[in-house]
């Protein structure tokens, strides 16, 4: 008999517990830290020279603190001996050294902050490049395994770079300080040195044991704060819908729930910080009497002077501080570890995606027929279906040179190692990650580009699955051919997968079987079900997705496009083509759909994909827009429910549920 399957709640709890345990594993954290930090030091120009400069300034600063310790020793001895001349000599010496040291002390902080900022800029740009490449932002959104990527990119990178640098310099300076002041201390009284060694080791071990839990609590805190902020952003984005529904009550409950969850976790954190503080505070206060109680007897017997007592006290402080870095910074260190984990998750996701793409590409290279046994011979299977930004044959924005420059090759290699580990050993983290990313054993739809980029579409035995972990089959065995210039209407009950079929065509969804051949994305234009207005001016809306500086559209063309969709008055009403507005709130849904049509006419594609993009238009406007498309000879595939749509198409495809047949027929007069 099989044991009963654990309930989903219990399963989630167990999974969270396992992940919490992994987050505390120092070896894993270190590997993660190194994989995130390494590319900058390896590939960014000038990075190593900058850190060398910061280290140099740090060394000088450390040397200066030794000089100050000797001046201070003689200062106290002069006081003890009541030697006025010596006292003023030390004061003068102190002032001169301070004057020379000041620029170095200030410059050190400045150089460190600048380096942290440069590192952040480099790393953020690298992640942004990856985030927008191969539609990673879309995949993250669809798979839902990496929460709040925006927070990770905006805040975790910033914290990572500045804290890494701070810790690196602290550790380095501590080592140098340690050597300098240990020598001083050892010279004064070796016994002091031994006591110090025991004391600091004891402190580090106890602080680590007490504070370990804080790593996971900090990880959760970052997530909960980001969830809370996201709920507020959603309210801002959907303010009007919520206001119509009078949904404030429900929204308030949800927002407060997220906030309370963050507060509860923070409370836990505060409790653990308090527990840790019981120890760290007593540890810090004991330092004031510990060295004195050991060295004072020597002073009372007259073996040493007061200056030596003060110097040994200072040296003890320095060395102990160096040895107690973990005790003193545990709180910050645990926040830092949490940040590493979140950033690591995001980067692992990105690498997994690139590794996935590369694996598929190399598999195709070895076996060109592997995806499409009945495919058209001689086709360039360069499009891996994962949504490259430019999928014209042979072009990949992430070619080898680019990957090397940004260290992605390292990341991919790391990911592959992880995958090996997941299959050869019982590594829960690796398994988890692979499961989240879709892992081995996946089936993918093969996507090919038509020869010479002609606007033909051939779909063969296409079975499509949802991209989430359930991989629900939406429809099976769909085949059709659309010749250049032909117009296809896809109809079917709500939820059968009509929009999803378009997603498969665009390469957004690629889980399933069968093959798709279509023109390159650069000669296709998609009008999605929900109109989208980018942040920017009216001109930028119209030429979207082409960046303004790359667009060759003239003002006359923009006006003509607006006239076609009956929006010619829009620039006058909104203050001109260069006016910035929040277009998705100032335009009605129908206006946004018409604006999208205007974009389509400016983009002049060979093939247009229209997903219920005229649902908010009146019948007369719909007719005008479709007639224009027909006259301009653009082939298109539409999805829609309205009977009026039939007259603008040549073929209708009635999509069936899984297991059911699909009905494809030419549209004649009277079809509906």
Closest distance of CB 490 from ligand ATP, Å: 8
Q: Give 218 or 500: the residue with its C-beta nearer to ligand ATP.
A: 500
Q: Give 317 or 654: the residue with its C-beta nearer to ligand ATP.
A: 654
Q: How many residues does the chain have?
A: 672
Q: Give 123 or 513: the residue with its C-beta nearer to ligand ATP.
A: 513
The SS3 call for residue 453 is helix
Closest distance of CB 608 from ligand ATP, Å: 17
User: Which residues lie below 8 Å from residue 272, measured CB to CB, with a gap of 6+?
Assistant: 210, 211, 213, 214, 217
* CA distance between the termini of the chain: 55
Q: Give 231 or 499: the residue with its C-beta nearer to ligand ATP.
A: 499
Q: Are strands 635-639 and 651-654 parallel, antiparallel or unpaired?
A: unpaired
Q: Give 142 or 584: the residue with its C-beta nearer to ligand ATP.
A: 142
Q: Give 236 or 470: the residue with its C-beta nearer to ligand ATP.
A: 470
Q: Are strands 635-639 and 607-611 parallel, antiparallel or unpaired?
A: parallel
DSSP string covering 296-344: HHHHHTTSS-HHHHHHHHHHHHHHHHHHTHHHHTHHHHHHHHHHHHHHH
Closest distance of CB 235 from ligand ATP, Å: 22
* Angle CA 62–65–67, to nearest 5: 115
Closest distance of CB 149 from ligand ATP, Å: 16
Closest distance of CB 474 from ligand ATP, Å: 5
Rounded to an integer, what distance in angstroms lies between the CA atom of residue 465 and that of residue 244?
Answer: 35
Bridge partners of 518? 449
Closest distance of CB 438 from ligand ATP, Å: 13
Q: Please name the helix (run of DSSP H) or strand (run of DSSP E) that holds residue 564, with its range, or none.
A: helix 555-564
Q: Give 42 or 472: the residue with its C-beta nearer to ligand ATP.
A: 472
Handedness of CA 468, 474, 480, 485 (dihedral sign): negative
Answer whether 524's CB lies under 8 Å from 609's CB: yes
Dihedral, CA atoms, 377, 380, 381, 386, nearest 10 degrees? Answer: -150
Q: Give 494 or 588: the residue with its C-beta nearer to ligand ATP.
A: 494
Residues near ligand ATP (CB under 6 A): 142, 466-468, 474, 492, 494-500
Closest distance of CB 504 from ligand ATP, Å: 10
Rounded to an integer, what distance in angstroms lies between the CA atom of residue 76 and that of residue 305?
Answer: 9
Biggest distance spanned by C-alpha atoms of the chain: 117
Q: Give 467 or 520: the residue with its C-beta nearer to ligand ATP.
A: 467
Closest distance of CB 143 from ligand ATP, Å: 8
Closest distance of CB 24 from ligand ATP, Å: 33
Closest distance of CB 594 from ligand ATP, Å: 20
Rounded to an integer, what distance in angstroms lies between the CA atom of residue 391 and that of residue 386?
Answer: 10
Output the six-digit token pair for 146: 């990496």
Q: Give 460 or 498: the residue with its C-beta nearer to ligand ATP.
A: 498
The SS3 call for residue 427 is coil
* Angle CA 192–196–199, to nearest 5: 140
Rounded to an integer, what distance in angstroms lies between the CA atom of residue 274 and that of residue 281?
Answer: 10
Output the six-digit token pair for 389: 């930004």
Dihedral, CA atoms, 583, 584, 589, 592, nearest 10 degrees? Answer: 50
Closest distance of CB 639 from ligand ATP, Å: 6
Q: Give 139 or 396: the residue with its C-beta nearer to ligand ATP.
A: 139
Closest distance of CB 254 from ligand ATP, Å: 21
The SS3 call for residue 446 is strand
Q: Give 466 or 584: the residue with its C-beta nearer to ligand ATP.
A: 466
Closest distance of CB 107 from ligand ATP, Å: 52
Neighbours of 161 (CB within 10 A): 23
Q: Give 454 or 477: the residue with its C-beta nearer to ligand ATP.
A: 477
Answer whether 577's CB lies under 8 Å from 548's CB: no
Neighbours of 411 (CB within 10 A): 23
Rounded to an integer, what distance in angstroms lies between the CA atom of residue 652 and that of residue 646?
Answer: 8
């Amino acid at each position: 008999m099989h044991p009963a399957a654990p309930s989903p709640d219990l399963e989630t709890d167990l999974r969270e517990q396992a992940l919490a345990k992994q987050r505390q594993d120092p070896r894993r954290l270190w590997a993660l830290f190194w994989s995130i930090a390494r590319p900058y030091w390896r590939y960014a120009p000038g990075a190593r020279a900058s850190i060398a400069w910061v280290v140099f300034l740090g060394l000088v600063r450390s040397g200066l603190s030794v000089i100050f310790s000797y001046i201070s020793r003689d200062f106290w001895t002069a006081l003890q001996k009541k030697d006025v001349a010596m006292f003023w000599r030390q004061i003068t010496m102190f002032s001169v050294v301070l004057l020379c040291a000041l620029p170095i002390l200030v410059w050190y902080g400045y150089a460190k902050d600048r380096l942290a900022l440069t590192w952040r800029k480099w790393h953020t740009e690298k992640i942004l490049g990856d985030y927008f490449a191969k539609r990673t932002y879309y995949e993250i959104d669809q798979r839902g395994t990496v929460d709040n990527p925006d927070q990770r990119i905006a805040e975790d990178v910033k914290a990572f770079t500045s804290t890494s640098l701070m810790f690196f310099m602290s550790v380095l300076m501590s080592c140098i300080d340690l050597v300098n002041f240990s020598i001083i201390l050892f010279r004064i009284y070796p016994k002091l040195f031994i006591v110090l060694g025991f004391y600091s080791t004891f402190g580090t071990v106890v602080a680590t044991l007490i504070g370990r839990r804080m790593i996971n609590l900090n990880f959760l805190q970052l997530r909960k704060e980001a969830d809370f902020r996201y709920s507020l952003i959603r309210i801002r984005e959907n303010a009007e819908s919520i206001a119509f529904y009078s949904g404030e009550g429900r929204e308030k409950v949800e927002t407060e729930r997220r906030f309370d969850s963050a507060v509860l976790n923070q409370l836990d954190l505060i409790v653990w910080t308090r527990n840790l503080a019981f120890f760290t505070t007593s540890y810090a206060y004991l330092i004031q009497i510990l060295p004195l109680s050991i060295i004072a007897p020597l002073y009372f017997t007259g073996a040493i002077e007061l200056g030596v007592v003060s110097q040994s006290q200072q040296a003890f402080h320095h060395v102990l501080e160096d040895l107690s870095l973990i005790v003193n910074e545990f709180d910050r260190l645990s926040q830092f570890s949490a940040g590493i984990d979140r950033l690591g998750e995001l980067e692992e996701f990105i690498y997994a995606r690139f590794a996935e793409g590369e694996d598929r590409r190399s598999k195709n290279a070895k076996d060109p027929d592997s995806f499409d046994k009945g495919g058209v011979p001689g086709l360039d299977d360069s499009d891996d279906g994962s949504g490259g930004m430019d999928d014209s044959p042979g072009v990949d924005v992430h070619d080898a040179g680019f990957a090397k420059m940004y260290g992605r090759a390292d990341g991919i290699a790391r990911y592959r190692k992880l995958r090996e580990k997941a299959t050869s050993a019982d590594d829960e983290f690796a398994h988890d990650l692979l499961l989240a990313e879709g892992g081995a054993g996946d089936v993918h739809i093969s996507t090919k580009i038509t020869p010479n980029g002609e606007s033909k579409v051939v779909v063969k035995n296409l079975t499509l699955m949802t991209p989430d972990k359930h991989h629900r089959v939406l429809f099976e065995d769909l085949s059709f051919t659309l010749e250049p210039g032909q117009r296809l209407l896809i109809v079917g009950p709500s939820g059968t997968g009509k929009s999803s079929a378009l997603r498969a065509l665009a390469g957004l969804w690629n889980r399933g079987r069968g093959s798709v051949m279509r023109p390159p994305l650069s000669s296709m234009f998609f009008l999605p079900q929900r109109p989208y207005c980018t942040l920017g001016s009216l001109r930028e809306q119209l030429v979207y997705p082409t960046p303004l500086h790359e667009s060759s559209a003239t003002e006359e063309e923009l006006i003509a496009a607006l006239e076609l969709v009956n929006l010619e008055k829009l620039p006058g009403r909104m203050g001109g083509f260069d006016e910035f507005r929040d277009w998705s709130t100032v335009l009605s849904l129908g206006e946004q759909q018409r604006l999208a049509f205007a974009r389509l006419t400016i983009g002049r594609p060979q093939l247009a994909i229209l997903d219920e993009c005229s649902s908010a238009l009146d019948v007369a406007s719909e007719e005008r827009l479709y007639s224009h498309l027909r006259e301009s000879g653009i082939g298109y595939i539409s999805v829609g429910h309205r009977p009026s749509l039939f007259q603008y198409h040549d073929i209708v495809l009635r999509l069936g549920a899984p297991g059911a047949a699909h009905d494809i027929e030419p549209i004649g007069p009277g079809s509906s």
